[in-house]
């Protein structure tokens, strides 16, 4: 008995110390995160000191058998094996942690919120099943108030499974691996008994609708409030809009009787005159909006959300308009994985990815092919990206996944409704039907109806891998995305021109996005002479081919504002377990940056020269160092007014213009045997920019 009491005391002390450090870290790290600035609701990180083991037997309760190891969340058990090939572990695994319920929680509500678990999660409190969530990419939240014990230590256990299932999207691991594990953060949320809901598909519980122009913004805030007291309660609901400096610009409040049954819906209207508009990368201005519940003069719960006031439209044939002005959408797609980490990424790693996308000059991102981390969407708000968010109805169809697709779309929209950066909800990618009445077209129409009912203000999109507009699985959404890989999977690189001009002629009033284009590149493979078609089934994927590909295709895309947006596939290399090409197994190397984020490929600098407002001057071919051609061409990607090239200290002839005005092409350059030193110079806003590389001409 004494030993047991000592053990309990140690665990309680350990938990309290851990909690103090967690809260201290939370205060420091999250102070600028608008979703966590809250003095009355506790949001406690719950990510350290988890016990983990893979299943060695079939059971729902992991009591005995197998070795437990201590892990921190985010965690995945596939961070290495998926990246090696097909034979990676899918199946059951268990996560276990102890929790001491604090006495002050007794008169409150306690929730546990998971931001992402791949793929199926069964939550147990003290060996009692609380609930199940299906889907690897969306958040979910369970009320555990009535299952916690206050006289002993509680055991939190999560059974996780990432096996392929026909009823959960994506239904297979072939296009990208679905990493198993609790790979995004966990929080314990403690609220009063009257609270803004946390369990409405794990949404913030408030929804900000806006009707905006340059002179005024009409705002409606819908709050979903729960009352777990026994009687009807009178509260005050107060909503406050503050500017970037924290100054209150608008505030409304109203008395409200809240019922102890069901959900209480409270709408509040506000108007902001002469609003400071959220204007993409030019000026991503954010207000904050806080909805608070006040009882007996005291704030008992509140939720704060970002508020970016903006309006957008698509004009057929002319493209995307933000706040009434043309705003060209060009950018990249992004998968949420890093080499050796898989999908279990820190916020610092997410930020690193966004920083590189910002550096390249992209105005838009397509987050493919699933809901990504909440940190990502919040940072896109503050960095000014215009983004496309989508669900993983992708690659293959079983006809059993309809309910789960609807669930994941609802989660995606409700959890991210208030982010001003999102312009588009993606419904499907490269799933097909032979008939307009087949499973995919019918489900897509149902998904579109859900999206437009949940959020009529944003666009919806579906995506086809075929070049034709009028296919059975197309045209059920506002925007038709089309993935085109001319020069790689079909035809030649310049064929993109004929495709887009054909669409302009045949479908002038359609909203069309080039949702993917790109080609593979192994930075350790180079060639001097490049053709207009590659070999996707081969083992030679030279970086120089990728560079040529993007020079030609961006040169075409730039001339066609008919395309509402265009997205390079992909910003970063990523794993495909079934892939085997380009000299590296299980790797898709269409990225502009290598899987380990250490090398920005030449094509990265091509786009940076064309897109960025920062100075760029870059000599292409720096890894193509061993040369056999004595007479060659040198290309410099730059946004300077002009470029001067020196070869072995001698100035060469003036450059010709290549695919765009940022492509400086120096032809008939004579190399000498041995080392050749190339230096390029140019001026950006009267400041000298330069770059230098070396090539070696072999005998």
Domains 2-189 and 626-697 share a fold: no
* CB distance 308 to 294 below 8 Å: no
CA dihedral sign of residues 46, 50, 56, 62: negative
- The backbone torsions φ and ψ at residue 546, rounded to the nearest 5 degrees and listed phi first, read -60, -40
pLDDT of residue 13: 37
pLDDT of residue 60: 63
C-alpha separations of 602 from 174, 361, 594, 619, 637 in Å:
28, 15, 11, 9, 9
Q: Using CB atoms within 10 A of its CB, is residue 69 exposed (0-12), middle (13-18) or buried (19+)?
A: exposed
* CB distance 136 to 178 below 8 Å: yes
Q: How far apart are CA 14 and CA 589, in angstroms?
A: 46
DSSP 3-state of 6: helix
Q: Using CB atoms within 10 A of its CB, is residue 250 exposed (0-12), middle (13-18) or buried (19+)?
A: middle
* Cis? peptide before 570, omega within 30° of 0: yes
In 316-455, alpha helices (H): 347-360, 374-383, 402-416, 439-454
Neighbour count for residue 87 (Cβ, 10 Å): 8
pLDDT per residue over 587-605, tens digit each? 999 999 999 999 999 999 9
CA angle 414, 101, 197 (to 5 degrees): 20
Which top CATH class is 206-307?
Answer: mainly beta
DSSP 3-state of 457: coil
Q: Which of 26, 40, 199, 18 is nearest to 100 (CA)?
A: 18
pTM, whole model, 2 decimals?
A: 0.94
pLDDT of residue 27: 31
Domain 626-697 CATH assignment equals 2.60.40.10: yes
* CB distance 676 to 648 below 8 Å: yes
Q: How far apart are CA 637 and CA 689, in angstroms?
A: 12
DSSP 3-state of 341: coil
Q: Which of 382, 347, 380 is nearest to 364 (CA)?
A: 380
Q: What is the DSSP string of 482-532?
A: EE--BTTTBS-TTHHHHHHHHHHHH-TT--EEEEEE----BTT---SS--S
Q: Which of 233, 563, 137 is nearest to 554 (CA)?
A: 563
pLDDT per residue over 137-148, tens digit each? 999 999 999 999
Which residues, other chains included, contact 190 with Cβ-Cβ below 8 Å and sequence gap of 6+?
A: 41, 42, 44, 105, 108, 109, 110, 111
* CB distance 199 to 141 below 8 Å: yes
Q: What is the largest CA-CA distance in the chain?
A: 91
Strand residue runs (E) in 551-642: 563-568, 574-581, 584-588, 617-619, 626-627, 631-638
DSSP 3-state of 442: helix
Q: Give me the half-sphere count of Cα atoms (radius 13 Å) on the Cβ side of residue 230.
A: 1
Q: Which residues pair with 206 in a beta bridge?
A: 223
What ranges do the domains of the chain cover? 2-189, 206-307, 324-547+568-585, 626-697
Parts of the chain with a pLDDT under 50? 1-38
Q: Residue count of the chain, please give it.
A: 699
pLDDT of residue 59: 65
Q: How far apart are CA 266 and CA 222, in angstroms?
A: 6
pLDDT of residue 499: 98
Which residues, other chains included, contact 503 with Cβ-Cβ below 8 Å and sequence gap of 6+?
A: 469, 510, 512, 562
C-alpha separations of 589 from 85, 141, 471, 531 in Å:
15, 36, 29, 19
Give the end-to-end CA distance of the chain in Å, rounded to a whole number: 85
Q: Which of 100, 195, 191 is nearest to 151 (CA)?
A: 100
Which CATH number is 2-189's, of 3.30.70.1150, 2.60.120.260, 2.40.40.20, 3.90.320.10? 2.60.120.260
Q: How far apart are CA 305 and CA 42, in angstroms?
A: 16
Q: Which residue is catalytic, options 374, 430, 551, 681?
A: 430
163 flagged as catalytic: no
Q: Which of 549, 561, 565, 567 is nearest to 501 (CA)?
A: 561
Domain covering 324-547+568-585: architecture: Alpha-Beta Barrel (3.20)
């Amino acid at each position: 008995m004494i030993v047991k009491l000592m053990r309990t005391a140690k665990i309680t002390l350990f938990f309290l110390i851990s909690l103090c450090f967690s809260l201290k870290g939370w205060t420091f790290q999250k102070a600028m995160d608008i979703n966590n600035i809250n003095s009355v609701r506790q949001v406690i990180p719950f990510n350290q000191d988890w016990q983990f083991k893979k299943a060695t037997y079939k059971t729902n309760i992991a009591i005995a058998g197998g070795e437990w190891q201590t892990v921190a969340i985010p965690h995945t058990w596939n961070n290495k094996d998926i990246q090696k090939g097909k034979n990676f572990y899918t199946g059951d695994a268990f996560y276990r942690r102890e929790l001491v319920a604090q006495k002050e929680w007794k008169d409150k509500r306690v929730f546990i919120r998971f931001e992402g678990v791949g793929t199926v999660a069964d939550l147990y409190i003290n060996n009692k099943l609380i609930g199940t969530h299906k889907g690897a990419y969306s958040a979910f939240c369970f009320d555990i108030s009535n299952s916690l014990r206050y006289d002993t230590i509680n055991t939190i256990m999560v059974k996780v499974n990432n096996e392929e299932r026909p009823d959960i999207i994506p239904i297979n691991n072939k296009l990208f691996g679905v990493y198993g594990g609790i790979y995004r953060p966990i929080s314990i949320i403690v609220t009063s008994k009257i609270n803004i809901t946390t369990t409405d598909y794990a949404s913030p519980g408030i929804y900000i609708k806006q009707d905006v122009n340059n002179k005024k913004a009409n705002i409606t805030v819908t709050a979903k409030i729960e009352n777990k007291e026994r009687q009807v309660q009178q509260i005050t609901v107060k909503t406050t809009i503050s500017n970037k400096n924290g100054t209150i610009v608008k505030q409304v409040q109203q008395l409200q009787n809240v019922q102890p049954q069901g959900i209480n819906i409270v709408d509040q209207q506000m108007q902001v005159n002469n609003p400071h508009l959220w204007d993409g990368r030019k000026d991503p201005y954010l207000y904050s909006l806080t909805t608070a519940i006040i009882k007996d003069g005291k704030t008992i719960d509140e939720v704060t959300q970002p508020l970016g006031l903006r309006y957008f439209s698509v004009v057929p044939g002319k493209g995307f308009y933000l706040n009434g002005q043309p705003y060209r959408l060009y950018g990249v797609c992004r998968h949420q994985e890093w080499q050796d980490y898989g999908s279990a990424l820190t916020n610092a790693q997410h930020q690193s990815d966004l920083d590189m996308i910002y550096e390249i000059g992209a105005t838009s991102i397509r987050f493919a092919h699933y809901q990504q981390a909440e940190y990502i969407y919040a940072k896109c708000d503050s960095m000014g990206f215009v983004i496309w968010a989508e669900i993983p109805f992708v690659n293959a169809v079983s006809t059993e996944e309809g309910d789960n697709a609807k669930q994941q779309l609802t989660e995606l929209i409700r959890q991210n409704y208030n982010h001003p950066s999102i312009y588009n909800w993606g419904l499907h990618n490269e799933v097909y039907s032979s008939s307009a009445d087949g499973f995919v077209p019918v489900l897509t129409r149902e998904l579109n109806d859900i999206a437009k009912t949940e959020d009529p203000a944003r666009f919806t999109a579906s995506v086809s891998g075929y070049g034709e507009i009028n296919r059975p699985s197309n045209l059920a959404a506002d925007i038709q995305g089309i993935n085109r890989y001319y020069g790689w999977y079909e035809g030649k690189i310049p064929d993109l021109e004929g495709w887009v001009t054909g669409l302009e002629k045949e479908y002038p009033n359609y909203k069309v996005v080039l949702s993917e284009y790109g080609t593979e590149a192994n930075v350790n493979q180079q060639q001097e002479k490049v053709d207009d078609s590659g070999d996707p089934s081969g083992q030679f994927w030279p970086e120089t081919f990728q560079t040529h590909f993007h020079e030609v295709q961006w040169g075409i895309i730039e001339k066609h504002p008919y395309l509402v947006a265009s997205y390079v596939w992909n910003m970063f290399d990523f794993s495909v377990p079934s892939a085997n090409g380009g000299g590296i197994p299980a790797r898709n190397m269409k990225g502009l940056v290598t899987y380990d984020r250490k090398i920005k490929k030449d094509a990265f600098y091509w786009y940076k020269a064309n897109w960025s407002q920062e100075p760029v001057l870059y000599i292409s071919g720096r890894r193509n160092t061993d040369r056999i051609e004595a007479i060659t061409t040198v290309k410099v990607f730059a946004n300077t007014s002009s470029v001067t090239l020196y070869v072995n200290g001698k100035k060469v002839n003036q450059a010709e213009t290549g695919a765009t005005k940022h492509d400086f092409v120096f032809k008939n350059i004579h190399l000498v045997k041995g080392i050749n030193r190339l230096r390029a110079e140019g001026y950006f806003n009267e400041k000298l920019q330069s770059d230098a590389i070396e090539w070696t001409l072999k005998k």
